[in-house]
Structure formats: structure tokens, C-alpha cells
Structure 1
Amino acid sequence: MIHHTGPLVSWRVGLCLLMALLSRVATADVMPLIKVSADRSHFELESSGDRFVVWGVNYDHDQTGRLLDEYWIDEWPKVVEDFGEIKQLGANCVRIHLQLGKFLHSPQEPNQAALAQLSKLVQLAETTGLYLDITGLACYHKQNIPDWLDQLSEQDRWKAQAVFWESVAKTCRHSPAVFCYDLMNEPILPGKKPTTEWLGGKLDGKFFVQRIALDLRGRERAEVAKAWVDQMVDAIRKHDQRHLVTVGVIPWVYVFGGGKPLFHSAAVGERLDFVAVHFYPKKGEVQNAITALRAYQIGKPLIVEEMFPLACSQDELAEFVDQSAEFVDGWVSFYWGATAADLHAKKDRTIADAITAKWLDRFRAMSIERTTTEQK
């Protein structure tokens, strides 16, 4: 986004806050809850029964790489402005990523200041008319991982993670703007040999992948995954019986060229309300990606919770969306705090900036096309 200085900033920020306050009266009370249809085939609005298709963005970090919960208190006007820009993109959902270390002072003590800010963000979502995909337990930045966390046993680590989810669910339980709770971004399990590292590979200074165990100890992989999922769902359901729960996973069926889902299998994911997978189609492999995506059709709504023209062209990604529309109930791309216009105007624009700007323009055009089609 373009940042201005001087009196204009105060005027613009004040106007944004005033508009948010006024619009909340008109929006918060009428924003319908999202639920799974009775036949479990799609999402629908609780109030009307109309079908709901997710069209959203991951709002995980800003242009400098800072995660949302690292600046959302000191730079709240920036967040307000970004939500307005996301709405203008035509999105109806925002996926946020919350770091465990920012929300727990200790294994048993939640950070009340962080929870208060989360409540404030939920209110902003209500006023903006955007649903939230709340992804938790993030350990993306090592500097925000408390020393005590990695010293815990598997059992105690799970207990701390459950405290996180109890606190978040208690904070968000009453808001219709919450679309879902995503238990963890891309959880994985160890192989046959034990490991000492909870986090997976590093990407751009962040650790997006996290293990839920270091040692199988003779247990089956599905057994461990189910026990963890059930414990996290139990924590949420102590306070929130209404909002949907899922786990966003790496599509190993696509990565390996075959196989079956684990976390969203009948043996593990019985208590998960829908399937969320992260797809980055490769150049020339749209059909392979579609075939792999179909493996996640298990009788529940299915969304592509991450997508971006990272390894394919923008035309191919748009084709992937079009071809999967027959059986997919939503797609979530990315927004990193800068509009396409901002990126186009940058004097030191990089290739990545140019690709992102072009994709944001395409994403908005696809939003308009979707809206026009739905209205016919």
C-alpha cells in the first residue's frame, strides 16, 4: 500500500475508523453464519440456505515479511486499510495466521492482550463483511517461539496447543464473521526414524511446516494424527459448537503423484467439517493437479486454501480454478498489503512485484466474473 504522511494520514485514518464504526451497525447483525449443507456437499448461509463459495486471500504477512500479529497492535490503521483493499479485490474471506508464541505466556497462560486484539480484528471483519479463516499454532518465525515450547514432551506440547485453541475459540465464538478454525498450517508426522526438529524446511526465513510428533513410538501415523486432531477439536468445542473446523494440508497425492489423504481420511478427519488443501500447479501440469485434487473429494466441502502462480503461468492457474469449479467450494490466494496499483507504481519494482501485481489484477477480474455469473 502507499503510505502518506502529515495531516492527510490522520484524516484518512479517522475516516476509515468512522466508516467502520458506522458500517458495523449495518453489517454485524446481518452477516450470516456459514455452515455445511445438510447433505455435506457444499457451504451455505445459515439464514437463507444460499450456497456460499469461498473466494479469499491469505493475509499472512506484509511486504517486509512481518506476520500480522507482529504489527497489528502498533499499526492498526494499516490493518483496517488492508481489509478495505482486500474487500475491493472482490474477496469474501481472509485467512489469517496466528503464532502460538504470541498468544501464550506459558503452557497454561494465554496472552490476554493478543486475544483482545484478535477480538478487535473479528469486529473489523464484521464491519468489512469479510469472513475469517483463522489458522493457528503457527511457529513461522523462530524468534517468536518461546523457549519452553520445544522443551515440552509431545503430550505437554499438545496440551499447550489445546490451551491456544480454547482461548481463541472462547474469544471468537459469538462472531458470525468466523468462517472456520484451521488447526495448523501443513502439519506433518515423522518418518520411521525419530527426529529432534519440530519444524520443517525453511522458506524465505519462515517455517511453515510443523510436526505434531517427533517419534511414532510404534504407533500408526493415522493413530497419531487422529489423536492430535481430536484433542484440538475437543479444545475448540469446549467453547464453540458453531464454527467450522479443518486442517490445511500439503497435497501429498499431487507431490508424490499418487496415494491417499491422511488428515482428511475417514480414519483421521471424521471430526473435520471440510477439506482444505494447498495447491501450486506446475507448468504444463494443470490436468495432473486436477486429478490429484479429485482425490480429496471425500464427501465433504473442499477448498483450495492456498494458490498462486508460483510454478505455473497465470493463465494456467486461472484454468485450474475454472476446471476445479465443478467440484471445489472455494479458492484462497494471497494478499501482502500492497495493491496492484501500488506495485505497478513502485520505482524499484522487482519481477516478483510485477507477477504479484498482474495476478492481483487477474484475481479481481475473476472476482467480477464470478459475481456476474452468480447474478445471472
Structure 2
Amino acid sequence: MHVLNAVSSTILFCLLSVSITNITMAQTLSPIRVSDDGDHFVLAETQQRFRVWGVNYDHNGSGELIDEYWIERWDEVVEDFAEIKSLGANCVRIHLQVGKFLDAADKVNQSAVDQLKKLLKLAEHQGLYLDITGLACYHKVNVPEWYDRLDEQDRWQTQAFFWRSIAKVCRDSPAVFCYDLMNEPIFPAEKQVVDSSDRDWLTGELGGKFFVQRLTLDLNGRTRQEIAKAWVNQMVDAIREHDDQHLVTVGVIPWVFAFGGGKPLFYSPEVSERLDFASVHFYPQKDKVDEAITALKAYDIGKPLIVEEMFPLKCSAAELADFIDRSAKFTDGWISFYWGETSEQLKQKSDATIAHAITAAWLEKFQAMSEQVPVLPSR
């Protein structure tokens, strides 16, 4: 960009600084739908095939979730979305916390709702679709005591109210790719009742965050399939009260991969009927890409399939790229991570660690691969 003089530079700066909410722009994003044969995603307006190539924007470099800073530091979100777009991504997975969106079991936090509306406009402006993952309880400090005290029935009703409220806000935005009902829901073991004195719905703490959440504390004679089906139906019913268009999924831990066998639960015939596509989280292990591909195929159930989380956490960047290439024949999207810092920023940090170096190298690889996504093999 060429700046002729200081005056024009100042004018340009002012124009670029105008709040996105005050700009009237034509919405150029086409809604995403499942193809008529149920096999893949298409742009609704043209029926052109669509592949997801995105990032999880689950927290920033300080570990804060988006709804913990997006009001006071909105400019950071705007900057990060621009950086995500420059990586070649077309989708951003965001994670919304119950405690930030609900003031009570039947009352929304209006400030959070208003900010979500701004985020939708920002996504539309940047040409980025949103994978909206809800019901997060990652930071315990943000989980209300009243929410933890609810029994299963009331907790599910509150969760349905959350989704009803989100869908009401998002229903008309073409930037919404999907609603992910919950990140990695789990169940107690067979015949297990979680200690009533503990009543902790959360488990699997990782780096100060709880990414895993129980749907029930007691199977109470029910199968996991029965519970999962009832819960999915209740959440989808709540969404469909306001939004009958946008896609719905559940991001799951691929237990088939984790334990070397078994069958999918949420993507079993008994449970998956109301889910529009399959979403699984894969971190291939070193020298075990073959096993990861085999496990991923278990989730190829005749619906579009997305690897909703991936990162060279347990393998090299080259092995992860190989996993992507080899899964392209039966997979419709891949979502990695972006934590608010570019590759250059990570490499220039004075306290840079090996983790920073790995992340920087992967971001460069991710950006380079973005040019290949449209020409990856068809299913």
C-alpha cells in the first residue's frame, strides 16, 4: 500500500479504524449446506463443493478465552481475525462459556449477546465462517455455583436455553458454519455414580482448563447411547425453535483411536440422526499415522466428516501434513489452532520456547497448505 503524504495516511488510518459494526457491507458469504446426497458440504447458492480449512481460536497467548476479553479489548479480536484470514483459513472455531452468557438458568447476559452480534459482523466482513462451540466450562472460575448445583434434568434445560438463545442471535448470519453442541462430552463408566459429595461435572484438567464435561453423573440404568440421543435431541430441538438452517454437530474424542478399537458413540446409528456431520479431534502419534487414518475412517458414516482439532502435538509437522493428505479422500475439513500470535511474532519473542518454535513452524506449514485445499482429492 502506497501512502502519498501524511494527510492521506491520517485519512486512511481513520477509515480503517471505523468500527466494523458501523460499516454497511454486502454479505458475500454463502450459507453452507450438506450436499443433496449427504456426502459433503456445498455453498448453498451455487452448490459448489466446500472444504473447511480453519483454526480453533480457543484462547489467546495468555490463555484467555475470547469471551473473557472481547468487550474490553475488541481490537485484539479484530486483529486476530485478520491474521487468521491471512493464514488462508476459511473457518474459525470459537468456544463460548456458559458462565459468560447466562446470568441465571433462564436469563442471558445481554453484553455477551451484543458482543456475539459484533463477532458475527466481523466474521462476515473478513469472509470467515464460524464453528460456534457452546456450553464451555473450561475455566472453573467462570462456572456459576448455581449451574453446578443443578441436577441432570435442570442442567439440560439450562443448556437448551443457552442454545435457544445463541440460535436466536445467529440464525440470520451467513457467517455461521455450524453449532457444536459441546466440546468432548463424556459419561461415567458403566454402573458408576460420580461421588455425590463431589458432583463435579468437569474432568480432564489440562493447563488450567477443563475441556471435558460429563452429560450425567449417573447412568441410572440407561445406556450411553440412550443418554446421548436424548441430550442431542433436546439441544437440537432448542436450536431449531429459532434456526432451521445452520448445521449442528458434536466435537468428540475419538475413543476408537484412543483405545485402539470400538465403535463411535455420538456417531453411531442410534445417536447421529439429528447431527448434520461428524466432528472428531485427532492428534496423530509419531510413527502411527496409519493407525490414525484407520481410526478416522470409523467416523466416515455417510455424512460429511471434519477433523475439528489437530496439531503436531505428538507427531511431526510432516506427519500431520501426511495425515491430512491421506485423509482427504474421505474427509471434508480440518481445523487446527491459532492463539493470537503470528509465526513472526512467535519467533521474535525474547522468551521463545520449543513450543513457540513448533507452533511457528506449523503456522507456516498450515498457511502453505491452504493453497492446496481446493485441489485435494475428492471423496
Per the shorter chain, which TM-score range?
Answer: over 0.9
Residue 328 of structure 2 contacts residue 376 of structure 2 at CA under 8 Å; is this kept in 1?
no
Aligned partner of 2:4 in structure 1 is: none
Corresponding residue SS for 1:257: coil
Tell me, in whole angstroms, the C-alpha distance in 2 between the residues paired with 1:137 and 1:182. Answer: 9
Query: Which deviations, in whole Å up to 9, do the C-alpha atoms of 1:289-330 show, x marking residues without a partner?
Result: 000000001110000000000000000000000000000000
Check if 1:337 corresponds to 2:345.
Answer: no
DSSP-derived class of the 1:148 partner: helix
1:231-272 C-alpha deviation (Å, 9 max, x unpaired): 000010000000000000000000010111001111011100
CA distance in 2, matches of 1:155, 1:15: 51
In the alignment, is residue 49 of structure 1 matched against residue 47 of structure 2? yes
- Shift, 1:31, TM fit: 1.2
Aligned to 1:3: none
Mark the CA change 1:112 to 1:21 in structure 2 (over 3 Å): closer, same or farther: closer
Distance 2:201 2:18 in 1: 44
- In 2, are the aligned partners of 1:182 and 1:247 still within 8 Å (CA)? yes
- Aligned mate of 2:252, from 249, 253, 256: 249
Amino acid at match of 1:233: V
SS of 1:176's equivalent?
coil
Deviation at 1:23, TM superposition (A): 7.6
**Which of 234, 239, 259 is the aligned partner of 2:262?**
259
Paired position in structure 2 for 1:317? 320
Query: Taking structure 1 as the reference length, what is the TM-score of the superposition?
Result: 0.94
Q: Distance in 2 between matches of 1:255 and 1:313?
A: 19
State how far apart, in whole Å, the 2-side matches of 1:165 and 1:233 are: 8
Secondary structure of the 2:339 match is coil
Q: CA deviation at 1:18?
A: 3.7
- Match for residue 193 of structure 1? 192
SS of 1:105's equivalent in the other structure is: strand
Change (3 A) 1:14 1:150: farther
Q: State the match for 2:25 in structure 1.
A: 25
Helix, strand or coil: the match of 1:200? strand
| 1:229 aligns to 2:227 (yes or no) | no
Asked if residue 361 in structure 1 is aligned to residue 359 in structure 2, the reply is no
In 2, the alpha carbon distance for the partners of 1:34 and 1:21 equals: 23
Q: Tell me if the contact between 2:129 and 2:176 (Cα under 8 Å) persists in the aligned partners.
A: yes
Shift of residue 333, structure 1, vs aligned partner: 0.0
After superposition, residues 143-292 of structure 1 pair within 5 angstroms as 143-191=141-189, 192-195=191-194, 196-292=199-295
Please give the per-residue CA displacement for 1:41-65, whole angstroms capped at 9, x wherever unaligned. Answer: 0000000000000000000100000
What amino acid is aligned across from residue 305 of structure 2 in structure 1?
Answer: L
Percentage of identical aligned residues: 63
| 8 Å contact from structure 1 (residues 140, 208) kept in 2 | yes
Q: Distance in 1 between matches of 2:372 and 2:146?
A: 49
Q: CA deviation at 1:370?
A: 2.9
> What is the rounded CA distance, in whole Å, between the counterparts of 2:375 and 2:275 in structure 1?
32
Question: In 2 relative to 1, CA 218–276 (structure 1 residues): closer, same or farther, beyond 3 Å?
Answer: same
User: C-alpha distance in 1, partners of 2:359/2:149?
Assistant: 39
Question: Equivalent of 2:56, from 58, 83, 86?
Answer: 58
Counterparts of 1:87-126 in structure 2 under 5 Å? 87-126=85-124
Contact kept, 8 Å, 1:186 with 1:209, in 2: the verdict is yes
Give the residue type in structure 2 aligned to 1:199: L
Contact 1:96/1:134 (CA < 8 Å) preserved in 2? yes
Give the TM-score normalised by the residue count of structure 2.
0.93
Deviations 1:12-37, CA, capped at 9 Å, x for gaps: 985544495798624x1x21000000
Match of 1:134 among 132, 135, 139: 132
Give yes or no for contact 1:182–1:246 (8 Å, CA) kept in 2: yes
Q: Which residue type is aligned with residue 146 of structure 2?
A: W
Code of the aligned partner of 1:167: S
**Structure 1: gaps of 5 or more residues:** 1-9
Q: Distance in 2 between matches of 1:294 and 1:197?
A: 33
* Structure 2 unaligned regions, length at least 5: 1-9
Quote the residue 1:6 is aligned against.
Answer: none
Counterpart in the other structure of 1:299: 302
RMSD (Å), alpha carbons:
1.7
Letter of the 1:355 counterpart: I
